[in-house]
């Protein structure tokens, strides 16, 4: 009986260590990509237009997109990783992030322009109030709007230091790529249990942050 207990404990310890190691790997990739993003788009380089002062927001969104696409689709990175070719790994990271930064700029610019165009002055005639998505029942929101609200809140929480990039990456794959927990676990290289732990942490943080996110609905 004592032998079986030791075996179970050993298996549990190994599983925990593996989960921690896998999470650290994900964190390392995100950190490297963040360094590349800061070199390609440092603060203060966008001096005019709707994106002025939005460098951090652009980098953050690009980072989450690129790490997600990286792990899931970048064959060049995967092949370079297998043969431990550091130069090829770096090149793949640079290319992937360059594309993600371009996409993030377009997405954020489009979003800001759209929101500004739809913003109306609150007066006595229209009630002087605007119902925030967080004040509405979740079932009342369209699926695409739910995903937008969640991801905007996740981005803001990361910016505020309340969530990590790996946390945001998990939600990006679930909300924007429509992936299930099993698939996310495979792509991220961590256990399903670790995914659920991250989702639990995100659920604890999001309600408060969602109240600060501005979403204009029809």
**Every domain range in the chain assigned CATH 1.10.10:** 133-218
Residue 190: predicted pLDDT: 78
Is 0.95 topped by the overall pTM?
no
Q: 């698939």: which residue's tokens?
A: 183
Residue among 77, 125, 132 nearest 99 (CA) = 77
Residue 13: predicted pLDDT: 55
The pLDDT profile of the chain, 218 residues, written as one tens digit per residue, is 555 555 555 555 555 554 555 556 677 888 888 899 999 999 999 998 889 999 988 998 888 888 876 666 677 888 888 888 889 888 988 988 999 899 989 988 887 887 666 554 545 554 544 444 444 444 455 666 677 788 888 888 887 889 888 888 888 888 888 888 888 888 777 788 888 988 999 999 988 888 777 655 54
Residue 117: predicted pLDDT: 65
Residue 41: predicted pLDDT: 94
Neighbours of 175 (CB within 10 A): 18
Residue 101: predicted pLDDT: 92
Residue 133: predicted pLDDT: 46
Report the C-alpha gap between 136 and 124 in whole angstroms.
22
CATH code of domain 133-218: 1.10.10
98-102 long-range contacts, Cβ below 8 Å, gap at least 24? 98/40, 99/66, 100/62, 100/63, 100/65, 100/66, 100/69, 101/37, 101/40, 101/41, 101/58, 101/59, 101/62
């Amino acid at each position: 009986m004592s032998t079986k207990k030791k075996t179970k404990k050993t298996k549990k310890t190994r599983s925990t260590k593996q989960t921690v190691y896998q999470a650290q790997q994900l964190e390392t990739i995100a950190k490297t990509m963040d360094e590349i993003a800061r070199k390609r788009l440092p603060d203060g380089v966008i001096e005019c237009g709707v994106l002025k002062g939005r460098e951090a927001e652009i980098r953050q969104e690009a980072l989450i997109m690129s790490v997600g696409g990286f792990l899931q689709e970048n064959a060049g990175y995967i092949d370079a990783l297998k043969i431990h070719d550091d130069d090829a790994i770096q090149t793949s990271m640079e290319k992937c992030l360059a594309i993600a930064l371009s996409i993030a700029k377009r997405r954020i610019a489009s979003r800001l322009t759209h929101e500004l165009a739809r913003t109306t002055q609150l007066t006595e005639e229209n009630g002087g109030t605007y119902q925030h998505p967080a004040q509405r029942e979740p079932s009342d929101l369209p699926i695409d709007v739910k995903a937008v609200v969640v991801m905007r809140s996740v981005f803001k929480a990361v910016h505020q230091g309340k969530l990590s990039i790996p946390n945001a990456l998990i939600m990006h794959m679930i909300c924007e790529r429509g992936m299930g927990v099993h698939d996310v676990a495979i792509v991220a290289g961590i256990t399903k249990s670790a995914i659920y732990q991250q989702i639990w942490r995100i659920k604890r943080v999001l309600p408060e942050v969602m109240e600060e996110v501005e979403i204009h609905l029809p």
